[in-house]
């Protein structure tokens, strides 16, 4: 924080030099010149050789003492600063009594360095260590996290910043990390078991009898009844926006609660680069800074053509780099509210320590899911294999003359008569230009995937030679999740041939949003017309949507491909993608 | 090596980061072979936005790094997508104050197992003042049949003086519009058979204040004068409970329940001097682990 206040002029000077000659910059790079701020909780480790240790430590975020699992005794773990082109060596020691592992999220590397126990390596045994070493072939903002058991939820995560060899297409005078996360005092496995026992435990926002009377008054009895009938027929609730929410979680920014108010300093007029990372296990955040426009310059570490917004939604595992330029000698609140509005966290940008701006007096109104959100085009739909709502509802293999003009989505046979599949989307579309649930009429300009335009063209311009369609499926009540109705442990790997270019299409057959992450290879997100939009490592798939990305299978090995909602992954929403010659 | 040593700890106060970062010697223990230099510096891929992209040719080192020998190790132990889970619940544990005296009544269940198969233990019954407990305890194996319905099969043992045993077959789950349904058929000694169905609904007055109407009906195949049971529909309980979930796991409630006996069972009741209808006031606790 204030302790490591950077030399701004030096930074500017160096940036100028970088533009003038790369060799000079590289020579000077070892100096502590950049302005990445740290807190007492987050140190910066830079260079090519790192010693990391995973262990337990006491924390207190909720007002009660609890134990966290952390890297190098801090939550988040230290910021690791690498340089594109370097070969980095990371020795990770495990002092836990269980196997552990660290995964470098979004990093291109050999499969045995990817850190997924059981796929890439054995995992790090208690008391043991593992030497990760690989060449850094990219730059930007990323993160690392545990990939063994549920250790990520317990605190095994931290930021990765990779400085580019070439100058970036934007300028700034100050550089801060904003790592958002969700903390619970509960043992993560108890939380998982609780979801299995009662998946709606945290949903204290269900519609009540009073809400029904209000809807009758405002919408009329017929409309209110029709709405209740549609949701009742599906046996679901339109308030199911988060499986675990602020009733369980304390939301953190840079390892501080909202009350802890992490503060970053600036001089009015400076351009500040904010590197947002969502390291939460189960939380989507909507982020804004009242009083400032946000210029988004990178997504998932990849530069994009700048887009100016008031707010962005960040899914678990995504990163966004944003530039802001506060002109006034005033404090600003970086406000991150959970997508279901059950809580928030914040941090402050201020000219001087101790200053703070008002926190928005209220969270945004809680949104309700609609049938359109679920890709049902205004109709409720029965679970596959059960006919309970009449002929207007979608059933696999049925005639759908009533829906002429609206393409009906086909579904894998494995979803039929499957207790783990409680819903199917009837007419999902990409909806890349949709602001998303709870943000459609909030009066702010919000970032949508359609706004993201990659700065660089795709490295692989080939048309995909084939398409692999996978459906995100689940049973909310049983808290069972998978692809195509099949859990990871029961599924065959998705096989790719080394070198091939494929289109991966994901159809969301659930009522929740799933950020899907492919290890080891980029996901080149396509627009609705199949054109390249932006390169990502994590692509979020809202309910009722069908989104496609291209993958070049240029990394041989066994890679994890999973929903980054940690508890969904744990429940089986994962596949192995095996790239072989 | 200078670059390695240059790895710097640039933390602020450094108070929390008490770990010693001064040593940056190459680690002694290495579990993985260091990546082959050729793998790191191989011929780059041909990049092309016009469709002439070619990924780099693989070396043996690439192949070794891509498919390390895991000696049969897999993801079990690191990720269990079907863990053993258990739950124990006293759905109703209540004091009933009735016209004919007070009673302690319970309806409890526990399950243990995995997604595709669970052992269920269920018990329901009551103990009226001055009488032995009446009710049953069941051990059942349950499997999901559809997203919303489980099928269960097992045995039932009656509590009480003669402790009859039954085979049990049932379904339980959630009907459209979120009606919770449980139906069980029992086949007992001497050819007796019974069928019991219960339906519950949760009406949210507020998110923690829940009004739960409940109806339960029981029918028998044969007359059983010894137990005061007539064939056909034997008795119906209809109740209403209002609970407040202090926590999800702990909710006290109050309620009212009305019981009717029908047919032969009503005849036997009247013969024994018992009423065929009864209203009971209820106070109880719902809790689970």
Percent of chain B scoring above 90 in pLDDT: 68
Contact B16 A74 (CB under 8 A): yes
Q: How confident is residue A575, by pLDDT bands cut at 50, 70 and 90?
A: very high
At residue A25, what are phi and psi to the nearest 5 degrees? -60, -45
Contact A78 B62 (CB under 8 A): no
Q: Could you give the CA distance from residue A60 to residue A82 in angstroms, rounded to a whole number?
A: 31
CB atoms within 10 A of CB A432: 19
Sheet hosting strand A250-253, strand order edge to edge: A250-253, A174-183, A272-278, A319-324, A294-299, A302-309
Contact B13 A40 (CB under 8 A): yes
Q: Could you give the CA distance from residue A553 to residue A461 in angstroms, rounded to a whole number?
A: 13
More confident residue, B74 or A579: A579
Contact B66 A579 (CB under 8 A): yes
Looking at the complex, does the CB of residue B62 fall below 8 Å from at least one CB of chain A? yes
Taking CA atoms, A434 is separated from A296, A438, A473, A528, B180, in Å, by 18, 11, 22, 12, 36
Q: What's this model's pTM, rounded to 2 decimal places? A: 0.89
Torsion A365-A368-A374-A375 (CA) sign: negative
CB atoms within 10 A of CB A562: 29
pLDDT tens digits for B206-246? 999 999 999 999 999 999 998 899 999 999 999 999 999 99
Radius of gyration of chain A from Cα atoms? 23
Contact A461 B49 (CB under 8 A): yes
How many angstroms from the chain centroid is the CA of residue A419?
28
**Residue A13 scores a pLDDT above 80:** no
pLDDT at site A42: 63
Tokens (6 digits) for A127: 């008391």
Segment B249-267 mean pLDDT: 96
Q: Return the exposure string of A96-114: e unless at least 16 CB atoms fall within 10 Å of the residue's CB, then b.
A: bebbbbbbbbbbbbbbbbb
* β-strand partners of A356: none
Contacts of B31 in chain A (CB under 8 A): 121-122, 124, 128-131
Contact B58 A50 (CB under 8 A): no
Q: Could you give the CA distance from residue A233 to residue A228 in angstroms, rounded to a whole number?
A: 8
Chain A to chain B Cβ contacts (< 8 Å): 277
Find the largest Cα–Cα distance for chain B.
101
DSSP A444-467: S-B--GGG--BSSPPSB-PPPSEE
User: Nearest by CB to B78, which of A41, A118, A480?
Assistant: A118
Q: What is the ipTM of this complex?
A: 0.86
Contact B19 A557 (CB under 8 A): no
> Residue A197 in contact with residue B110, Cβ under 8 Å?
no
Q: Could you give the CA distance from residue A388 to residue A393 in angstroms, rounded to a whole number?
A: 9
Contact B29 A574 (CB under 8 A): no
Q: How confident is residue A458, by pLDDT bands cut at 50, 70 and 90?
A: confident
Radius of gyration of chain B from Cα atoms? 32
Looking at the complex, does the CB of residue B1 fall below 8 Å from at least one CB of chain A? no
Closest-CA distance, A209 to chain B, in angstroms, reads: 5
Please give the mean pLDDT across all residues of chain A. Answer: 89
More confident residue, A406 or B110: B110
At residue A27, what are phi and psi to the nearest 5 degrees? -65, -35
Tokens (6 digits) for A561: 């491909």
Tokens (6 digits) for A462: 């080939």
Instruction: Give B112's contacts (C-beta < 8 A, 6+ positions apart).
Output: B84, B85, B86, B118, B119
Q: Could you give the CA distance from residue A91 to residue A98 in angstroms, rounded to a whole number?
A: 18
Torsion A35-A36-A40-A44 (CA) sign: negative
> Residue A441 in contact with residue A435, Cβ under 8 Å?
no
User: Nearest by CB to A74, which of B17, B177, B248?
Assistant: B17
Instruction: Give B120's contacts (C-beta < 8 A, 6+ positions apart).
Output: B109, B110, B111, B138, B139, B140, B141, B142, B152, B154
Place of tokens 């289109």: A503
Contact A477 B148 (CB under 8 A): yes
Contact A91 B83 (CB under 8 A): no
Sheet hosting strand A285-288, strand order edge to edge: A263-265, A344-350, A332-338, A285-288, A311-314
Q: Could you give the CA distance from residue A380 to residue A401 in angstroms, rounded to a whole number?
A: 17
**Residue B30 scores a pLDDT above 60:** no
Closest-CA distance, B194 to chain A, in angstroms, reads: 28
Q: How confident is residue B52, by pLDDT bands cut at 50, 70 and 90?
A: confident
Q: How confident is residue B50, by pLDDT bands cut at 50, 70 and 90?
A: low
Instruction: Give A164's contacts (C-beta < 8 A, 6+ positions apart).
Output: A84, A139, A140
Q: Which of A13-22, A488-497, B107-116, B276-285 has the lowest mean pLDDT?
A: A13-22
Segment B261-272 mean pLDDT: 94
Tokens (6 digits) for A461: 């311009």
Instruction: Give B249's contacts (C-beta < 8 A, 6+ positions apart).
Output: B287, B288, B289
**Residue A337 scores a pLDDT above 60:** yes
Contacts of A46 in chain B (CB under 8 A): 7-8, 10
Percent of chain B scoring above 70 in pLDDT: 82
DSSP A346-382: EEEEESSTT--PPPPSSPPPPP---TTTTTSTT---P
> Residue A328 in contact with residue A166, Cβ under 8 Å?
no
Burial class of residue A177 in the structure, from the number of CB atoms within 10 Å of its CB (0-12 exposed, 13-18 middle, 19+ buried): buried
Q: Could you give the CA distance from residue A267 to residue A272 in angstroms, rounded to a whole number?
A: 10
> Residue A373 in contact with residue A437, Cβ under 8 Å?
yes
pLDDT tens digits for A263-302? 999 999 999 999 999 999 999 999 999 999 999 999 999 9
pLDDT at site B74: 80
> Residue A272 in contact with residue A176, Cβ under 8 Å?
yes
User: Which residue in B has a C-alpha nearest to residue A572's C-alpha?
Assistant: B81
User: Which residue in A has a C-alpha nearest to residue B47's C-alpha?
Assistant: A459
Closest-CA distance, A462 to chain B, in angstroms, reads: 4
């Amino acid at each position: 924080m204030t302790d490591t206040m950077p030399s701004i002029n030096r930074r500017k000077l160096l940036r100028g030099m970088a533009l003038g000659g790369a060799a000079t910059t590289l020579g000077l790079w070892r100096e502590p010149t950049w302005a990445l701020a740290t807190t007492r909780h987050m140190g910066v480790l830079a260079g090519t050789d790192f010693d990391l240790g995973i262990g337990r430590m006491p924390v207190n975020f909720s007002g009660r003492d609890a134990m966290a699992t952390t890297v190098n005794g801090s939550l988040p773990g230290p910021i690791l600063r690498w340089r594109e082109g370097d070969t980095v060596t990371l020795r990770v020691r495990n002092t836990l009594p269980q196997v552990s592992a660290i995964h470098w999220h979004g990093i291109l590397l050999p499969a045995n360095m990817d850190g997924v126990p059981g796929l890439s390596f054995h995992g790090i045994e208690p008391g043991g260590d593992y030497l990760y070493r690989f060449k850094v072939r990219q730059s930007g903002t990323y993160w690392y996290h545990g990939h063994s058991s549920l250790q990520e939820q317990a605190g095994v995560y931290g930021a990765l910043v990779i400085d580019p060899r070439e100058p970036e297409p934007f300028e700034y005078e100050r550089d801060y990390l904003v790592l958002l996360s969700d903390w619970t005092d509960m043992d993560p496995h108890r939380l998982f078991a609780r979801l299995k026992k009662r998946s709606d435990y945290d949903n204290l926002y269900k519609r009540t009898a009073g809400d029904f009377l209000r809807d009758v008054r405002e919408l009329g009895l017929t409309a209110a009844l029709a709405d209740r009938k549609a949701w009742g027929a599906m046996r679901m609730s339109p308030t199911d926006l988060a499986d675990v929410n602020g009733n369980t979680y304390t939301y953190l920014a840079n390892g501080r609660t909202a009350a802890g108010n992490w503060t970053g300093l600036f001089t009015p007029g400076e351009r500040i680069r904010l590197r947002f990372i969502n390291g939460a296990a189960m939380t989507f955040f909507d982020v804004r800074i009242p009083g400032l426009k946000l210029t988004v310059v990178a997504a998932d570490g990849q530069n994009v053509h700048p887009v100016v917004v008031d707010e962005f939604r960040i899914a678990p595992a995504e990163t966004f780099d944003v530039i802001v330029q506060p002109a006034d000698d005033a404090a600003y609140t970086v406000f991150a509210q959970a997508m279901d509005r059950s809580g928030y966290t914040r941090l402050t940008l201020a000219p001087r320590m101790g200053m703070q701006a008002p926190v928005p007096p209220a969270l945004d109104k809680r949104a309700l899911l609609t049938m359109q959100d679920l890709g049902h085009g205004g109709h409720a739909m029965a679970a596959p294999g059960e006919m309970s709502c009449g002929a207007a509802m979608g059933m696999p293999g049925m005639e759908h003359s009533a829906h002429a003009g609206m393409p009906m989505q086909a579904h894998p046979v494995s979803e039929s008569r499957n207790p783990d599949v409680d819903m199917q989307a009837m007419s999902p579309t990409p909806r890349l230009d949709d602001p998303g649930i709870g943000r459609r009429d909030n009066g702010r300009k919000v970032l949508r995937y359609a706004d993201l335009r990659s700065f660089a063209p795709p490295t692989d311009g080939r048309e995909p030679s084939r398409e692999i369609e996978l459906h995100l499926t689940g049973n909310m009540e049983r808290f069972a999740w998978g692809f195509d109705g099949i859990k990871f442990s029961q599924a065959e790997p998705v096989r790719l041939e080394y070198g091939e270019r494929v289109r991966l299409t994901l159809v969301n057959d659930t009522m929740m949003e799933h950020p899907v992450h492919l290890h080891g290879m980029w996901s080149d997100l396509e627009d609705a017309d199949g054109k390249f939009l932006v390169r990502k490592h994590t692509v979020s798939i809202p309910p009722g949507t069908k989104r496609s990305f291209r993958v070049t299978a240029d990394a041989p090995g066994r890679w994890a491909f999973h929903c980054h909602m940690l508890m969904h992954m744990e429940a089986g929403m994962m596949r192995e993608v095996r790239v072989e010659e | 090596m200078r670059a390695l040593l240059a790895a710097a700890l640039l933390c602020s106060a450094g108070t929390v980061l008490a770990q010693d970062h001064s040593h940056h010697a190459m680690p002694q223990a290495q579990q993985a072979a260091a990546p082959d230099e050729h793998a790191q510096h191989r011929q780059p891929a041909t990049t092309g936005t016009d469709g002439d992209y070619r990924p780099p040719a693989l070396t043996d080192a690439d192949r070794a790094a891509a498919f390390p020998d895991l000696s049969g190790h897999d993801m079990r132990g690191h990720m269990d997508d079907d863990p053993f889970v258990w739950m124990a619940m006293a759905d109703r544990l209540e004091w009933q104050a009735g016209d004919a005296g007070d009673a302690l009544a319970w309806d409890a269940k526990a399950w243990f197992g995995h997604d595709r198969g669970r052992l269920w233990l269920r018990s329901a019954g009551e103990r009226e003042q001055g009488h032995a407990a009446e009710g049953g305890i069941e051990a059942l194996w349950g499997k999901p049949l559809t997203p919303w319905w489980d099928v269960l099969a097992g045995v039932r043992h009656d509590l009480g003086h003669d402790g009859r045993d039954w085979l049990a077959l049932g379904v339980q789950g959630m009907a459209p519009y979120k009606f919770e349904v449980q139906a069980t058929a029992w086949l007992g000694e001497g050819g007796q058979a019974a069928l019991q169905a219960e339906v519950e609904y949760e009406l949210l007055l507020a998110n923690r204040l829940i009004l739960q109407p409940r109806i339960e009906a029981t029918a028998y195949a044969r007359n059983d004068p010894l137990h005061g049971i007539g064939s056909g529909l034997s008795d119906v309980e209809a109740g209403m409970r209002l609970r407040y979930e202090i926590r999800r796991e702990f909710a006290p409630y109050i309620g009212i329940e009305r019981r009717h006996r029908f047919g032969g069972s009503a005849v036997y009741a009247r013969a024994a001097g018992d009423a065929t209808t009864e209203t009971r006031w209820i106070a109880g606790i719902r809790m689970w682990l």
